Amino acid sequence: MSHRTALHHARKAAAAVVITVAAFGLTACQGGGTSAAPSSTSAGTQQSATAAAKTTQGSADKTTQGSADKAPSANHKKSGLRCTDQINYAGDPRSNADINTIGEKTGHCPTPEKAGAPANPPKKPGVRCTDQINYAGDPRSNADINTIGEKTGHCPAVHH
Residue 94: other Cβ atoms inside 10 A? 18
Global confidence as pTM: 0.30
* Residue 129 · residue 146 · CB < 8 Å: yes
Cα–Cα separations (whole angstroms), residue 51 to 74, 115, 116: 19, 31, 32
Q: Residue 16: what are its φ and ψ, rounded to 5°?
A: -65, -40
Q: What is the pLDDT, as a whole number, of residue 47? A: 46
The residue extents of the domains of the chain are 75-116, 117-159
Residue 20's Cβ-side half-sphere holds a number of Cα atoms within 13 Å equal to 6
Residues in the chain: 160
Can you give the pLDDT of all 160 residues of the chain as single tens digits? Answer: 566 676 666 677 777 766 776 666 655 554 444 444 444 444 444 444 444 444 444 444 444 444 333 334 447 778 888 999 888 888 888 889 999 999 889 888 988 887 655 557 788 889 999 998 888 888 999 999 999 989 988 898 888 7
CA distance 137 to 139: 6
Backbone angle region of 127, left / alpha / beta, with phi > 0 → left and psi within -120 to 50 → alpha: beta
CA distance 60 to 64: 9
Q: Residue 109: what are its φ and ψ, rounded to 5°?
A: -80, 135
Residue 107: other Cβ atoms inside 10 A? 20
CA distance 8 to 57: 15
